[in-house]
Amino acid sequence: MTVRKPYDEIGAEGIERLVERFYHHMQVRPEAATILAMHPSDLGVTKATLRAFLSMWLGGPDDFRPVHGEPFLRRRHLRFPIDGAARDAWMHCMRLALDEVVADARLREHLVANFQQMADHMVNRASAAPPGHRAGLRGVAADGSNET
């Protein structure tokens, strides 16, 4: 039996749409202004990097490592002040994008849970943690493997 990966359901076109919708929400949502300001004004390279990462992370072609090396997401994001509010704004934009792009509710909820673990792992500044905050979780790839 072949195990289907999230990439098999979403594909390259779905990842492209997910990235476009994610950054659209980041640009129009006032609560995302702080995290948008952490990005360069030209989002072209940022979007390409996220597309490559998501392809790999979702079990598709690994276009990320040959160009960028190992993900080490937390290490790459330490230079940015990411607190609970930044995490929540990022997750809000990602949830909206997932709602628009991923039709299968079960897959969408699986991805939301995995993105939430990733977002929790990126927090590197203290803030008043909202109810349900799960600090200290390591990243988990969407295909179920551990991510360092």
- pLDDT tens-digit series, residues 11-35: 999 999 999 999 999 999 999 999 9
Q: Is the pLDDT of residue 3 over 90?
A: no
Output the average pLDDT for the chain.
89
Of the two residues 1 and 7, the one the predictor is more confident about is: 7
Instruction: Give the confidence band of 127 by pLDDT, cuts at 50, 70, 90.
Output: confident
CA–CA distance from 145 to each of 38, 52, 142, 148 (Å)?
28, 18, 7, 10
Q: Is the pLDDT of residue 10 over 70?
A: yes
Per DSSP, the three-state class of 140 is strand
Distance CA(115)–CA(95), nearest Å, equals 9
Distance CA(44)–CA(84), nearest Å, equals 26
Q: What is the pLDDT of residues 63-106, one digit of tens each?
A: 999 999 999 999 999 999 999 999 999 999 999 999 999 999 99
As a whole-number percent, the residues of the chain with pLDDT over 70 amount to 85
Q: What is the pLDDT of residues 44-61, one digit of tens each?
A: 999 999 999 999 999 999
Distance of CA 87 to the CA centre of its chain: 10
Q: Is the pLDDT of residue 141 over 90?
A: no
Mean pLDDT for 103-130 is 90
